Every structure is written in structure tokens, then in C-alpha cells.
Chains A and B, each alone.
Chain A
Amino acid sequence: MAETESYPPIDPTNFDLIVVGTGLPESIIAAAASTAGKTVLHLDPNPFYGSHYSSLTLQDLVSFLNSHSEIPKTNSLQSDDTTIVDVNTRPLYSDVEISSYDDSLEEHSRKFNLDLCGPRVLFCADLSVNLLLQSTANQYVEFKNIDASYVGDGNGNLMNVPDSKSAVFKDKTLEYSEKNQLNSFFKLVQGHLEAVKSVDVVIDAEKIISDDDLESPFVGFLDKMKLPPKIKSIILYAIAMVDYDQDAGESCKDILKTREGIDRLGLYHSSVGRFPNALGSLIYPIYGQGELPQAFCRRAAVKGCLYVLRMPVISILLNKDSGNYRGVKLVSGQELSSDKLVMDPSFTITSSKCLQNISKLARGICITKSSLKPDISNCLVIYPPRSLYPDQATSIRILQLGSNLAVCPSGMFVFYISVVCDDALEGKKSLHAAIDGLFSVHTDQTDSNELKPTLLWSALYIQDLIEGSVGPVVTTPTPDGNLNYNNLLDATSMLFKKLYPDDEFFPETSNTDSSDKLEDDSEVVLDS
């Protein structure tokens, strides 16, 4: 329970929009609304920004997970007044397992910036980067490369993902014919995407993939292109980042359509080489993903949004006559009014509304003192379905980050693992399989495990996946199981549209602020 600070009362008391929770979707909405000229009040019960999207110290992460996995006592302030509805917190996490094999880690707690919603990276050409640029929040964040991507198998091997023309060229494990097939497929996709964009339809029409094909399952299209299983697997799971086993036929929960598959490949490829310093397609913000909500919040603040941390909202106020939303009551007792309200999904207002069949996600955070591959600091590892053990129904994705990203002390590495699952049991099984595959848990091991990093600490937990919704109040989505933020951002911009259909979502304006762009000393940038 957050402390109530002895704040002066908030002034003004009426706003266009009140946002509760400083997760990424909420922060973006606050920034967009402020940019559109709305008066916004942004609150968060925590003493830090980011909520479920934040990056925390070791100790703070543990307490957050624990406190958000307990079912809180129901608010005893039950009132008969129908104009006041209590706000309750619903736990988003469950089955939290913290294991520490090295006590000395505690003293370094402050040097860690651990993501709650990891593994998470940005593609250079994805929506989050575009949004950062559009909102000019990019000035507040700096990034570094993810050095490599690997595909893992059940034998402890990690093979480079040949995800671009040059990676295919350099790959020593592919046969020549496989190189040709993979690269030809890349070119086919690229040709299609360019043709779709191009104005000169007549010339490029033959490059466009037929609608029939586009609507068909991607895995079928790959078969049609006569791609061998190994290449198919790379494309589906290591580049298009699919979760479910696409060869499972009817029982596959989520068959990816060709159209979507092509778009994902397109995203991957247009990310390569987008920025001069970015070597691959993936980048990660220094100091952790929690920098992103802070960047958008600052953007909102610059545009006039008012920020109050450590301020829980205890009740929603409704209009006596219409029953519509009219305002909030804070823990300090102060009542504020606004036209609209946005809340993060850990807050509920109707205790009776029980969400059925919530999808779940298993996450893990591990800390070691060595890297998976020598000379590699940051990398991604994908275990396609059934690669680690026969019943493995979904892809497991792991992100390794080194201290050059300021997420851990020098010499250490942080790993994020995530896997979509039906229930906690299945999820935990996958997490453990990945951990056993990558790390050695105990210090005294046989020689064969010398190459594996030794696990110093781990946190495993299950997170509920809740989508955004529009109702009496607008609720934002929880972090999802994808590697990038694209789906979340799509959902967020849709929510904004529902809130303010007449306003543009971060219109492109010339920068009237006197703020200048940062210039990096190490590279001399020429004007285009």
C-alpha cells in the first residue's frame, strides 16, 4: 500500500482527462492528449513511473511482483451511495517463484534495471520507433544494438538466425541451395511489399502475391514455395516470431495468415540498416524498457500534463442521474472531476465482472555472470515449438542483455524469458526447460556444462493477459507476449481514437520548441 504523501491539494480540480497508471499505453495516451491540447492529470499509486512496463531494481522488482500477486483485501469502504464505486486492484501476476543462489546480489540491487514486461525489444522500423519520432520523445531515449539472434535446439546448440541477405551469406551451417532458397524468399517478399507501395502498378503487378495466397496460412504458403522444414522454422519462429506450432493443423490456436507473415518479414527487413549505427534490426533502450513510459510522460509534461506519483485512486464518482462517469476520489480524500478516465488494467471497478478464459503468459528473469556466447553482449534466442521438448506447444523467447545497456552491474547478464501458455503449469514447465537448457544451476557440475552460464538468481511468474477495453472507463491493455510493442501500440492508438475521434494522434508539426536534437560525438552525421 503506497504511502500517502502530504501533498498540497491538486489544483485545478477539473480536467479533460484523468489517467491512472503510468504504463506505456497510458503514458502515450497522456502525451497524445496533452499534445492535442487537452488538460490532463496523470496519476500513479507507485513512487516510480512505468507501472507494469517499468524497469526496477532487484529488490523493488521482487516486492512489486509479490504485492501484485496477492489478492488485496476488498475495500471495506462499501457505501450504499451509487455515485461512488470503489476501485479495486486485481492481481496481474501469480505463481511467483524467486530463487537466489548468490547472496551478494542484494548489495548490487540498485545497479539493476529489470523489465517487468520482458523480453522486449524494438525493431528499428516498428511503430514504437516511429511513435518516438513523431512525438519527439526520441530525444529522451538512447538505444544500443542487439548483436545477434539465435535459434536453439534440444541439444544445447545455438545457431545464428540468417535473417538478412548478409546473414545468409555469412552462415556456415546452411547448404548453398538453402541459402539460395531463403534469400530468394526474402527477395520475393520484398518485391511484393515494394510493388504494393509503388505507384507504377502496371510494371510491378506481377510481383504482388495473390489475395488468395495472402489469406491462406503462412505455413501453407511456405510449403507452396517449396521451402524445406529447417528454413520454414527459421522464417516462422525466428523472424516472424510466431508463438504457436503452425504445423499442428486444426489444433493450432493461432494460425498466422500469409498477409501478416509477410508484414512481419517486411518489418524485420526494413529495420535492418534503418539507422547508421544500428547493425541489425533490433535495438534496446539503455537503462531498460522503463525509459519509454518516462519519455512519453515527460513529453506529456512539457505539453502541460500534471504529474502526481504516490497517489492511488480509491473510488470512481458517477453522475447521480445518468450513472455516467464524472470524477475520481483520491486516497488523500480530494475529489477531482474530468470528462474521461483511462485506467490501467490492474484496476477494476466492478468486482462482479470476472474475466473468463484469460490468456496467460509465463515470464522469467535470470541473472548470470557470463554470456551465452563469448564476445556477445546482447542477443535473442528462440526455441521454436517442440524444439526443446516434444510437448512444447509454443515458442520460447529469451533475451540476453549485458551491462553495456546499464541494466545490470558490470560483468553480469540479465535474461528475460517468455512463453505463451494455457496455464501456470504448462508455462512453468517451458520456463524450466529453457533455463535447464541454457544455464547450469549448481556450481559443481561436470565439464560439459562449463560453457553454460551459471544461474545466480531467477524470478519466474505468470502474468494475465488482458486486452484494452472501452466501457464506462477506458482500460489499457496489459503487456503482451510479443517481442515488440506493435500490437500494444495499435491497441493504444485505437483507444485514443475512441476517446478523441476528432483529434490527431501526434500530428506531425515542425518542432516549435527551442529544444535541439542531440548530436552524438562519435559520429559525424551528414545532412541528407
Chain B
Amino acid sequence: MHGRPRKSATPVDENASALKAAKIRSLQTQFLQNHHNNIYTKEALELNAKLLETNPEYMTAWNYRKLAFEHNLISQSDAEKADSDHIKSIIDEELRVVENALRTNFKSYGAWHHRKWVVSKGNSSTERELKLLNMFQKQDTRNFHAWNYRRFIAGLKNISDEKELQYTTDMINDNFSNYSAWHNRSVLLSNLLEKKAEGYFPKETFLTEEYEFVRNAVFTDPDDQSGWFYHLWLLDQTVKVDMPVMVSSWPPCDSDINLPVASEVKFPVVLYFNEPVEGISSHTVIVQIEDDVFKDITWSPLSTNKFGCGQAWVTHLSIPHEKFNFSKIYEVKIKSEDSRGITSLSGVPCSRPWSFAFRVSVKDVQPDEGQSFGRIMLTDESFCTIDTNLNKTNLLKSYFELKTSDDDQITSSKWKLEMIDNEIAHYRELLTWADCKIGKLTLARLLMAYDSMTSSATPIAHVEEVLQLYSELMKLDTPHQQYYKDEYSLVLLKQVTSSMESLLKHCWQYKSTPSSITGSICLRLNSLSLSRIGSIERLLWVQSLDLSHNQLHSIEGLEALQLLSCLNLSHNKLASFTALDPLRFLKSLKVLNVSHNEIGSHTIDTRRYQCSSPMSHTIDYDPKFEEFANGDAKLVNFWEAYTVFGGLNLMQLDIVGNVAVDERFVSFLVKLLHGLKWLDGEELH
């Protein structure tokens, strides 16, 4: 068992266990003989039962019993078949064997599984099963086997969810530290909600009572975790929107974008949802330019996993050269078709159709190809304050325009806000007499939830209080500091992106003439102690981004910024190449600075277990790598770097100041990145 120190065995113990082992071995030999010869007599079964009592983990022994059961059932005489008592006695015997095994180890998988198997055959008493379960609950209220089995029996015997709910109420009343009981409660309430059972649907009917119920637990003993987890579930139920919704896009609705002319005018269209979705395809989303429906559009998810889902989806639209008309403004319309095909990960369809339109025009300006590419620096000297009349700033406005919500949403927002407001009042009170960490965390979550649902002019009313809470938590609860830092960063970014004014404060204009690479505006979020990135939905327009001098350990979310061409990540805490994985999707990226990070500081890249690596599920092994490595075994270490950088067309890269970067690596990079002109400040030829 976990956490128990091993004690060396005394000679007496050793002797005893040797004897025990010998006994078991002989039983086992005999049993296996029976098993191999398909002997299912009463004696054989008794032998098997004895073996299982000593060693309930022996799956073969359990399976033998199943075979015996079937065999004996088939080979019954007619008289026996008619006698239901006979079958019942066989079943009773099986159940008795399971009980004995459970006495030895009441967490034995094999025993519980066998019981389920037997009980599924019918002819068993519900009462008895429940009685057995009650007994196990008394012994250990968190016996998850017992709870699982309970759910199984409830399903098999059609015990109503309401009745089971009452059972959890009783258990919690008895001792509210019962995490499993709270958990079961959440499962049952979800079921009832799904079935739209009376008294439980819509969800506001039970939420108030549940909040009160759990409040008694957490207020009586704030140090007990069980109630807090349940409260989190309740909050989630309160806040969550019941179906996936598209929250933002590039280009934004009703915008005008101007593209430089090129052999092919190509631009990305990004759809950004409130949660990861699947099912975006040309069947579910229609793209129209003027009145032509574009066929053969492929949408791909912008996500570092291979599951075919993502919060952001992209497609690339191109207008072929022939069709150019410099004076024309093309109206592009994107709308959902059969939006029910778009579903959340849990299968909830997007039932409300959506659409948006934007206008595209082509600039009659020659692209600046062939010009010498000067080194781009994202330092203070490169910028000046922004001119709010710039076209680009108008584009930003679209991200802050309020969408009209329908009546449903308004009324649901109302009860949600009331409920959360009530909770906020209570938990503020709790913190006055119980200075507990999880209380602060809950209050922070409540305040953020409240803000996220207000569509009013002050969507960030509580942000300062929340930031304060997270700062306190970072000091109070150092083991979880990273988590609080991340949350702090997300809240801070919410604040920054909450309004046009606040966002513009961080937008700077390039002094020199904007190139197609840098764009005219750079969003500078440097030196904000950010440990991760969020609020992506309002940043889809960003072309130049400065995130230097922060504490980023992850750049997850950046993959959705399809316009990104200049990115400064220097002086952060990126610890591996796999942390740079999102960059893979930024096909427009030209200028990248990842200098002075911690790439390669650990010999074992633990992120490997979370994201792409040769062994993981996220990307396929690229056979071209072998070609590239050309037999140089040492280059195998750079596999991840190959994956990240290989698909990018970088022109400028700064990578100095990372442990993994040595001469060999530099030459590898130079070999890989053909178009690279600047490396660590040096011009390449």
C-alpha cells in the first residue's frame, strides 16, 4: 500500500509466510489441473473457493468459476432446470464465494467483477446486494469499488436516481467528509438533468439547495476538501453554457481586410469557440465568396493533439490570380450549415446556427520581396505610441462589439448572476473568520465566473480583487504556486483584453514603415510576470507579439494566432522544445526570438508525456527526419526541434542563452532552415 514503510520480516513471519506460500502453491497446482481438464465437480469448486479465499486476485480462478457455472447450468437435468431453487442455490454459492474473497480483500477487482457477472445472470436479491454494500460503506466510506458496484446495481435493478440521491444525502449527513458520496451525487444529478426529470430540470431548481447543502459542509469544516470539490462542480454547472458557441473569428465579423497582391492571394480564416469542438468540415460550415460556394475547403483544428478536435479551427481561402480585380471588394460569408454536426467533446451539438461576413480587397502594391531583409528588433526603440486612427485599430473594435444575446441567454444569465452573487457574499463572509486557502481560491473563481457572465460595461469589475487573491495564494500555498501564477496570468490577460482602451495601452506602432512581415502594430505584453497565455479570442488579429521578460512555461493557445509573423519569447521559462510545439502551426511566422529561456535544462523532458514526442500520440514520426539526420546518431536528440522548426519558414531566429544550444545544434538549425537570414544577431550568407 502507498505510504507505508516496509518492515523487514521477522523469522517467525517468514516461516509463516513460507508455509502459507507452500499451501497456496499446492492448492494452485491442483486447481490448474482441474481447470485444464475441465473438471467442474463440487469438490473442484470447493478447492477453487479455498484458493480464492486466500488469494482473491487470481483472475484465472475467477474465470474458472464462470466456466463452471455455465457448464453446470447447461448440464442440468430437466428436473433441475425446472427447479428455480436449484439455480438460485448455485447463484447463492457463487455470491458466498465472492463475499469470502472480499473479506480477505474488499478491494479485490476480481471478486467484484465476478459478483457483477453473477448478479447480471439474474435471480439475485437487490436487498441483499444493498445490505452488503452498506456493510462495506460502514467499513470504509471511500471504497470506490463499493460505490462503483452500487452504481452498477442501481442500474441493473432500476433503482431510481432519486432514491440513490437520498442515499448520498444520508451518507453525507452522517459524515460530510465522504468524497465519494459527493461525487456520486454529482453523477446522479447529471443523470436527472439529462433525463429532464421533474424537480431537477432546469438546473436552477436544484442548484440553490445544493449550494446550501454544501455550504454547511465547507463552513463547518473549511479544511475538509470533499465539499469544496463539489462546490466547484456546482459552479461549473452554473456557469457553463450548454452548447458550443463560436465566440470569435479572424477576420472578425463585418470587417474589411486588405491583402497584398501575390501570385495567389491566400488568407486564413479562423473560427474560435468557447470550448474544443469537433465536426467542422465543408459539410457543416459553408464558405461563400460573392455567391459562389467554395467547395473542397478543408478545415483543420489548431491543436497540439491528434484527436481531430480543437477550440480553434482554420482554413485557408485563396483567390486565384485570374479572378483578381483590384477595385473589387469581395464579400465573404461564413455560415454554419447543419450546425448540429458541430459538437463539443461530450457530444453536445451546436444547435444554434451562426454566420458572419467580412469584406476582402486586394492591394495593388508590389510585395517587398527581394528587398534585403533587415534585422527586426522588438525593443522599445522600434516603437512609438499608436495612432488610433489606423485601419488596424478599427479592426480591433470588432472584437469588442457586443453581440446581441437572445432572450434565453438573458434570463439564464439573470439567475446565474443572482446565484453567484449570493455565493460571493457567503464566501466573503467565510474568509472573515476562516483564513483558508481553498476559500480564497473559491472566491476568486466565483468572482471570475460572475464577471464572465456580465455583458455589462464593466465586465471586469472584480479583477483587482481576484488578482489580489491569487497573489495572496501564491504566498500562502507555495506548493501550488505555479497553478496560481497561471491563473493570475489568465486573469491579467482578461483584464488587458477587456476593453479597447486597455488593449490599446499595450499596442505600439512600428516607427519604420510597416512591412508585410511586422504589420503596423505590435502587441507588447512583456514584463507582466505572465506564466501562460489566455484570452486568445480577442487576439486573433495580432501579427507582432512581444511576450519577452515574462515567466512563460507554456505557450499553449498561441497556435490560434494564424497571422503571427513576429514573435518575441525571450527571457521566459520555456524548458523544452516540446514547449514550443504550438509554433508548429504558425505558418506565417518569420521572426522568432526564443533566446534566454531554459530549453534543454533538464535531461528528461517531462513535457513529453503531455505533448508531442516520438512516443506520443500527437504527431506522426516523419521519415524525412532520417534522411535529414543522414546517419548522424547524435542528431536524434534534435528530433523535437526538427518537428517544431522544420515546417516553419523563419527568416530571423534568436536562440542564444539556452542550455540545449551548442555549436552542433546551431549548425543543425542552419541546415534545416533554408530561408534563415539572421541568427542570433549575425547575418547569414
Interface set of A (CB-CB < 8 Å, partner B): 165-166, 168-170, 176-177, 179-181, 183-184, 187, 276, 523-524, 526-527
Contacts and interface: CB of A to CB of B under 8 A. Distances in A.
A168 B138 CA distance: 21
Interface stretch (B169-177, B360-368, B632-640, B672-680): B169-177
13 contacts: A165-B175, A165-B176, A165-B220, A169-B176, A170-B216, A176-B216, A177-B219, A177-B433, A179-B216, A179-B219, A180-B434, A181-B433, A526-B135
Interface in B127-179: 135, 138-139, 173-177
A521 to B, nearest CB: 13
Contacts of B215: 176
B683 interface: no
B27 interface: no
Nearest to B223: A187
Interface string B200-235: 000000000000000111011111000000000000
Given A165-B176, A183-B220, A526-B103, 10 more contacts: A165-B177, A166-B173, A168-B220, A169-B173, A169-B176, A169-B217, A176-B426, A179-B219, A180-B221, A187-B221
Contacts of B297: none
B438 interface: no
Nearest to B135: A524
Contacts of B175: 165-166
Nearest to B106: A526
Nearest to B216: A169
Contacts of B216: 169-170, 176, 179
B103 A180 contact: no
B429 interface: yes
Contacts of B135: 523-524, 526
Nearest to A176: B219
B535 to A, nearest CB: 35
Nearest to B227: A169
Interface residues of B, number: 22
B430 interface: yes
Contacts of A176: 215-216, 219, 426, 429-430
A183 B217 CA distance: 11
A309 B192 CA distance: 68
A363 B368 CA distance: 106
A148 to B, nearest CB: 14
Nearest to B215: A176
Contacts of A166: 173-176
Interface in B89-111: 103
Contacts of A183: 220-221
A135 to B, nearest CB: 28
A-B pairs, top 5 by smallest CB distance, nearest first, are A176-B219, A179-B220, A183-B220, A168-B220, A169-B220
Interface in B411-439: 426, 429-430, 433-434
Contacts of B173: 166, 169-170
A129 B661 CA distance: 74
Nearest to A279: B174
Contacts of B138: 276
A180 B139 contact: no
A276 B134 CA distance: 11
Contacts of B222: 180
B430 to A, nearest CB: 7
Contacts of B217: 169
Nearest to B136: A526
Q: Which of B219, B222, B433 has the most CB of A within 10 A?
A: B219
A191 to B, nearest CB: 11
A271 to B, nearest CB: 15
Contacts of B176: 165-166, 169
A373 B316 CA distance: 75
Contacts of A276: 138
Nearest to A526: B103
B174 A180 contact: no
Contacts of A170: 173, 216
A165 B174 CA distance: 9
Nearest to A170: B173
Given A165-B175, A176-B429, A180-B434, A527 B103 contact: yes
A275 to B, nearest CB: 11
Nearest to B138: A276
A165 B219 contact: no
Contacts of A168: 220
Contacts of B433: 177, 180-181
A176 B176 CA distance: 15
A177 B216 CA distance: 10
Given A179-B216, A276-B138, A527-B103, A165 B429 contact: no
A507 B170 CA distance: 41
B437 to A, nearest CB: 16
Contacts of A181: 433
A178 to B, nearest CB: 10
Q: Which of A168, A169, A170 has the most CB of B within 10 A?
A: A169
B433 to A, nearest CB: 6
Nearest to A175: B219
Contact of B219 (A180, A524, A526, A527): A180
A527 B135 CA distance: 13
A165 B173 CA distance: 10
Contacts of B221: 165, 180, 183, 187
Nearest to A177: B433
Nearest to A172: B216
A180 B223 CA distance: 11
B97 to A, nearest CB: 15
Contacts of B434: 180, 184
Contacts of B219: 176-177, 179-180
A276 B141 CA distance: 13
A159 to B, nearest CB: 17
Contacts of B177: 165
A168 to B, nearest CB: 5
A526 B135 CA distance: 9
B501 to A, nearest CB: 40
Interface in B172-201: 173-177
Contacts of A184: 434
A166 B173 CA distance: 6
A527 B138 CA distance: 13
Interface string B106-134: 00000000000000000000000000000
A524 B173 CA distance: 24
A181 B221 CA distance: 9
A274 to B, nearest CB: 13
Contacts of B429: 176-177
A181 B430 CA distance: 11
B337 to A, nearest CB: 52
A165 B138 CA distance: 17
A397 B429 CA distance: 37
Contacts of A179: 216, 219-220
B626 to A, nearest CB: 57
A165 B434 CA distance: 17
Contacts of A187: 221, 223
A333 B175 CA distance: 63
Contacts of A523: 135
Interface string B571-603: 000000000000000000000000000000000
A177 B431 CA distance: 10
Contacts of B103: 526-527
Contacts of A165: 175-177, 220-221
A165 B215 CA distance: 14
A276 B135 CA distance: 10
A168 B175 CA distance: 11
Nearest to A182: B220
A183 B220 CA distance: 6
A126 to B, nearest CB: 22
Nearest to A522: B131
A166 B135 CA distance: 20
Nearest to A525: B135
A526 B220 contact: no
A169 B174 CA distance: 9
